[in-house]
Each structure stands twice: as structure tokens, then as C-alpha cells.
Amino acid sequence: MKIRAHAKINLALDVVRRREDGYHELDMVMTPIELHDLIYIDKIEKGIEITSNSYKVPTDERNIMYKVAKILIDRFHIDQGIKIHIYKHIPTQAGLAGGSADGAAVLKAMNWMFHLGLTFKELAEIGKEVGADIPFCVYERMAVVKGIGEKLDFINSDFDCYVMLVKPKKGVSTPKAFQSLDLENAIHPYIEEIKEGIITNDYEKVVNHLGNTLEKPSIKMVKQIEEIKQDLLELGFDGALMSGSGSCVFGLTQNKEIMDKSYNTLKNKYFYVRKSKIYKK
């Protein structure tokens, strides 16, 4: 079977505090976007086989898809194996949840293929064991996300816009971004303002309150993030922000002409440039 694994962006990301277990308490507004990986999954006699169009994708037990598949096979005593081929379009170390999206897609696909009868809530609980973003990626719905990523408060809205994605060649290590974060002097975005703007379809309010606590420490590691933000704003985008821990930056606009003109300018300057939109099922 074939399944799409949609990327996400963080319209807001607030690192609230460091927890006693070493993780950080987060408060975020996340939305899926149309950019996606394409995954083909077939049953085989035994084992887990992974192939990819990208040499950057590990094909062994390090892969998130492998990890979630093994959990399902072991936990539900599945007597067959699976073969996965993935066409990667979501860049790695970008803050777009590419790996988590792939893991969530495999969970959903295997649930259908092997008639496990699991709800999205149950799939999200299993996914949480492997990656904090997997629960969000199971649902693929705009939400306020809290905790370490497991608490989801879905937002029903018609909010829509174009999303330009620009990533420098160098990625950002998520652990390093958190390690170098100075929480006392960090920027903390107003999550409720963004949520209200989305609910009331107030585009201007949303773009005026974009914010990411991890942006500053990530810029120290990858200077081009700041340069990309400035380029997007100068090209006419209404707001620009680094997604997740980076290094991908997104620009928001409701003007298709700005998207098309900017794409031609940016694609000749940066490592990865892609046009996308807010994803709606």
C-alpha cells in the first residue's frame, strides 16, 4: 500500500522549563503542511526491510520506521514481516518532523494492513514510545501541543496560507539546541494569541505572533538561518520563523505571486527551497 507522511511546522514554540527527567516542557502550535514523504509498504514472509531513494536514510534498526514496525510485530504477534520503500522529500535535521511523520505513517499503514483495529489514540500512545512528535503526526491536524509533545489540543479552523520552506545545507542537532538554550533570557512566544488568531481566522494576528524559543541558540550554530529569515521578509512574506529546532525556515504569505517570484530567487541561493501550503484533510 501507499501512504503519505506529511511534514509539520511550528507556528510557535515555547520552551517552558527543564523537567526533572531531563526533557523540556514545551508549549507549541503545530500544523501539518502539504510537503510529504511517500511510503510504499508490502507484506513479506519475515523481518523488516527498508529501502530509500536517499542515502541519508538509515535502513536498519536506527530508523524510526523500523522501530515502530518492530513494536507492532512483537506486541501484536504478527507472523509476517514488512518491506518499506520511502521516497524522501522532507529534509533531515530541519525541524519538520520528517522522521516522526514516517514513523506515524508506518503505524497507520500496518494497523490497516494487519487489521489491528487500533484507534488513533492507541497508535499515538505507541508512537510516543519512539518519538515525541509521532502522536501529532498520527493525527495530522493543527493543534496546541504541550508536555514533550504528547498532549494535543486540536484547533478547528479554516486558517490557510502558502508556506515557503528554505533550509541551509547545515542542519541543527536538536539536543545541542536545547543544551545551549539560556531559558532565563529566552524569547517566549504568546501561544494563546496564535491560537486565537487561528480560531478567528485572523491571519495578521498569527503572523505578528510567530515565535520560537529555540531560534536564537540555533542561529548561533547555523548563521544562515537569520539570513534566510531576512531574505523572506524582504521578498514580501508577512512572517518568517525557524521551525522546531531548525534549520529550516518558513515564510508565510497569502499571495501566490510572492510565492512564485520568491521561489525563483531563493532556489538559486539556498540548499533546499520548496513551496508548500497548510495541509487539510
Respond yes or no: is residue 8 known to be catalytic: yes
Residue type (1 letter), 154: F
Query: What span, in angstroms and rounded, lies between the C-alpha atoms of 157 and 47?
Result: 42
Scan for cell 538561518, then name that residue. 225
Q: Angle, to 10 degrees, between the axis of helix 64-75 and the axis of helix 98-113?
A: 30
- Cβ atoms of 251 and 262 within 8 Å: the answer is yes
Q: What single string gives the DSSP state of each residue in 123-159? A: HHHHHHTT-TTHHHHHHT--EEEEETTTEEEE-----
Residue of 14, 27, 133, 238 with catalytic role: 133
Scan for cell 484533510, then name that residue. 281
Respond yes or no: is residue 133 known to be catalytic: yes
DSSP E strands, 53-197:
81-87, 143-147, 151-154, 162-167
Q: What single string gives the DSSP state of each residue in 13-76? A: EEEEEE-TTS-EEEEEEEEEEEEEEEEEEEEESSSEEEEES-TTS--STTSHHHHHHHHHHHHT
Report the first-to-last Cα separation within the chain, whole angstroms.
19
Q: How far from 256 is each of 165, 197, 252, CA to CA, in Å? A: 14, 21, 11
Query: What span, in angstroms and rounded, lies between the C-alpha atoms of 123 and 17?
Result: 28
What residues are labeled active site?
A: 8, 133
